[in-house]
Amino acid sequence: MTWILGVNAPPTGWHDTAACLVNGDGEVIAFTEEERCNRRRHSLYRKPAGAARFCLAQAGITAADIDVVALGWDSEQLYPRRFASDADFLAYAVGLDFGDHTPEVVRVPHHQAHAASSFYASPFTEAGVLVIDGHGENESSTIWHYADGAEPRLERSWQRTASLGYAYDAASTWLGFSFLNAGKTMGLAAYGRAAQLEVAPLVELTADDFHLAVDPLTENRGTATADEIKEQYDTVVGRWREHYTKIAGADGPNAPEDRLTEDPNAILVAYTAQRLIEQTVTHLAALTRKASGVDALCLSGGVALNCSTNGTLPGPLYVPPVPHDAGVALGAAWTVRPPRRREGALSPYLGVEVGAPDRLNAAGAGDISGLVRAELDIDELAGLLLDGQVGAVAQGRAEVGPRALCRRSIIAVPDTAEVNTRVNTLKNREQWRPFAGVTRPDYGSQLWQQQEYLSLYMLGAAKATALGRRVAPGVVHIDGTTRPQVLHGDEAPAVGAALDALQRHGAPPVLLNTSFNDKGEPVVNTADDALAAFRAMDLDFLVLGDVLYRKPNRAGGAR
């Protein structure tokens, strides 16, 4: 059997490191982000050793069995002559002990890895693929044509200085966020849309191109090292921040982060940046369809996490569960060995099995003493939810990507706006942050505009219907949208069964669904993670595998 280990790893992939194991048929055996293993958000500058060890254990192999390590970057260009050999590179980047055996190292250009991760995960046999992020080795946006059994073809490329990711990073940092918190910028921008703000356009669209309003006054320089790209990034983002300062008449918000909705300038900057993304990506999507000659469209790259933009694009459209940099671990592996057989879209449930709690955990994280334990009864679970309780689910193999998809989720009935306030409070989040809803396909068609594929992984905003606003106000954002997930079968058994039970009880089968983690932490992974988070947060119950845990004196509801 041939084994390919795909990685996003230092020194090129310095955030959202990840590992993915693919066999000789291109079948994904295991895939997880390192942050889930080391419990450090985004796993900055850390090699994906824990993620790689999980992948090997899942397949029952050792590092000596790996034939190819595929990296989702051209590290030789970015860090020329840094490593004397592939063995030295692997020791630094991956951290596994390969012994006397050094697997082949294949360096896949960053945007090609992004494109492969999207197309081969999709249900399409042929598609145009649009990749948009901060930057790859030499580019910030690219258009590709992919088809099963054919070599991918690069159709168009835009230089780093035309980066939409840089423009959005500048808005995020102007607002006081990290560039890794772009989702907060998107959430704040909805307040500008709701107010119907008129904002100055930051892009000029032509028949076959686009030109950004900010002149970075720097050349792309073509091939560049990592240090040169970092210098260019600082220059371009600095120019954009100066432009946002000019628009707002201030060099930053006049309100703290938890009250940014009270600052008109903060809303103006967020919405201005959001409109730039929406207008340009809509144009690029049309150019992708024209260049590829195919209606089916795949998106990838960090900008593809912008759910508000995704929701405005016409279908057929597919975005994978890991469009950000962690996804290049998958795309690099698939570039080496594309899947021979595909049946629909990729299942995201490729991570760690939740397992049972470790009662001997030295830190006490697996300690279940003091908790009320019972075998899971779905009708009882539905009753707790209908009584206004807020709980969490940790069941089966974890989902990959930044969206909790009901196997590592906090859930609640969203029939009041107050539930939004409570869940934001227990997660220690700003009160202006929105939540998503999850339901079954038939009921989803009544609650919000339909999305054929985006609702698989909660990656597209959709306008709520009048019914949706009435029965699920807790998951409708200020601009009237939600970011829905639809469960089609038993892929998330407890949540799917709870939805069906709510319907049997005569209640709307829809739940609030958000990631099971406290502020600053990655989504929980193991049973010990889940129990530790359950104890630390003001949650009422925890579904752990097939067991229901409750805290003492929580017999009553939260209403």
User: Which phi and psi angles does 257 have, rounded to 5°?
Assistant: -60, -35
Q: Which helix (H) or strand (E) holds 447?
A: helix 441-447
Q: Rounded to whole angstroms, what are the CA distances from 229 to 71, 101, 220?
A: 19, 34, 9
Confidence class for position 192, pLDDT limits 50, 70, 90: very high
Token pair in block for residue 507: 């209640």
Q: Is the pLDDT of residue 224 over 80?
A: yes
Tell me how far apart the alpha carbons of residues 320 and 91 are, in angstroms, rounded to a whole number.
Answer: 30
Q: Spell out the residues 6+ positions from residue 470 whose beta carbon is closer than 8 angstroms to its own.
A: none
pLDDT for the residue numbered 367: 60
Let me know if 497 is exposed, middle or buried by CB neighbors in 10 A (0-12, 13-18, 19+): middle
Pairing of strands 203-205, 153-159: unpaired
Is residue 475 within 8 A of residue 436, CB to CB? The reply is yes
Tell me how far apart the alpha carbons of residues 502 and 414 are, in angstroms, rounded to a whole number.
Answer: 12
pLDDT for the residue numbered 518: 94
Q: Is the pLDDT of residue 365 over 80?
A: no
Q: Assign 44 to helix, strand or coil.
A: coil
Is residue 395 within 8 A of residue 407, CB to CB? The reply is yes
Comparing 160-319 with 372-550, is the CATH topology the same? no
Q: Which helix (H) or strand (E) holds 511?
A: strand 510-515
Which stretches of 133-263 are assigned E, i.e. beta strand? 139-147, 153-159, 203-205, 210-212
pTM of the entire predicted model: 0.96
Q: Give the model confidence (pLDDT) of 237-272 as tens digits.
A: 999 999 999 999 999 999 999 999 999 999 999 999
Q: Give the model confidence (pLDDT) of 107-156 as tens digits.
A: 999 999 999 999 999 999 999 999 999 999 999 999 999 999 999 999 99
pLDDT for the residue numbered 357: 85
As a whole number, the mean pLDDT across the chain is 95
Nearest to 193 by CA among 483, 477, 437: 477
Q: Is the pLDDT of residue 320 over 80?
A: yes
pLDDT for the residue numbered 436: 93
pLDDT for the residue numbered 171: 98
pLDDT (mean) for 452-471: 97
pLDDT for the residue numbered 293: 98
pLDDT (mean) for 361-372: 63
Nearest to 297 by CA among 306, 279, 310, 280: 310
pLDDT for the residue numbered 217: 83
What is the dotted CATH code of the domain comprising 160-319? 3.30.420.40
Nearest to 301 by CA among 490, 70, 513, 139: 139
Q: Is the pLDDT of residue 168 over 70?
A: yes
Lowest average pLDDT, out of 138-142, 173-177, 203-207, 368-372, goes to 368-372
Q: Is the pLDDT of residue 221 over 90?
A: no
Q: Assign 221 to helix, strand or coil.
A: coil
Confidence class for position 356, pLDDT limits 50, 70, 90: confident
Which residue carries 């258009």 as its tokens? Answer: 143
pLDDT for the residue numbered 368: 77
Name the CATH topology of 372-550.
DHBP synthase (3.90.870)
Q: Spell out the residues 6+ positions from residue 7 whose beta carbon is closer than 8 angstroms to its own.
A: 13, 17, 18, 19, 20, 48, 52, 69, 70, 71, 72, 93, 94, 329, 332
Q: Is the pLDDT of residue 361 over 70?
A: no
Nearest to 63 by CA among 32, 35, 91, 24: 91
pLDDT (mean) for 504-526: 97
pLDDT for the residue numbered 555: 53
Domain ranges of the chain: 3-112, 160-319, 372-550
Which residue carries 């671990």 as its tokens? Answer: 329
Which stretches of 350-484 are assigned E, i.e. beta strand? 372-375, 391-394, 408-412, 436-439, 462-463, 481-482
Q: Assign 468 to helix, strand or coil.
A: helix
Q: Which helix (H) or strand (E) holds 185?
A: helix 182-194
Q: Which helix (H) or strand (E) holds 437?
A: strand 436-439
Q: Spell out the residues 6+ positions from residue 380 whose beta carbon is closer than 8 angstroms to its own.
A: 374, 548
Name the CATH topology of 3-112.
Nucleotidyltransferase; domain 5 (3.30.420)
Tell me how far apart the alpha carbons of residues 123 and 409 are, in angstroms, rounded to a whole number.
Answer: 26
